[in-house]
Amino acid sequence: PPDAGAAMSASPSLLGFAPSLAPRRSALGSHVCVRGVADDAARQYWDGMNRRDVEHALAQFSDDIQFQDLLFPSDKRGKKELRQHFETCLEGFPAGLRFEIDEVSKDSGDGMCGMYWHCETEAGDAFPFSRGLSFYKVNAEGKICFAREIPEPAVKPGSMGLAFAKLGGFLMRFIPESVKFPKI
């Protein structure tokens, strides 16, 4: 059988489709993406946060950024809201806490990347409940225009969470069709 790992790391042309050099529109929004720079913009953002340099971190984002931190109930839209979010987060982080990037899916030319990360203390010890996943998308200027961060929850509901999901699915049957939920 063919080596699945080799196929995953093969260039797009080896996988049976030709890469386009032109910017393209993404299903995540109407921004036109620049190719091959998302992972660098994301690394620069994390570098700014680790240095507690909000200006440097913000410089990696577009003015119309949509930033989703799933620890919080609502998206941050625009740099003003994002600045407030970063400042609030940095005030709450212990001194010396650093974000360490474990793995990055390098931007293969589609203007998007993902990464997983964790936090460490100044002494290099893993900080509890600090793992996370992030997804980033850049615009034509190479600025992050969409971000979704999914930090590890401190409370892990396990099978209780599955029971609530099952209950929620059951209850959804009784909601009138006239009720419309916002799209994610």
> Which pLDDT tens digits describe the chain residue by residue (184 residues)?
444 444 334 433 343 333 434 444 444 454 455 557 899 999 999 999 999 999 999 999 999 999 999 999 999 999 999 999 999 999 999 989 999 999 999 888 889 999 999 999 999 999 998 999 999 999 999 999 999 999 998 888 888 888 888 888 888 888 888 888 777 6
**Dist CA 126 CA 116 (whole Å):** 14
Tokens 């029971």 belong to 163
* Ramachandran class of 109: left when φ > 0, alpha when ψ lies in -120 to 50, beta otherwise: left
Tokens 């059951």 belong to 170
In this prediction the pTM is: 0.73
Query: Do 35 and 25 contact (CB within 8 A), yes or no?
Result: no
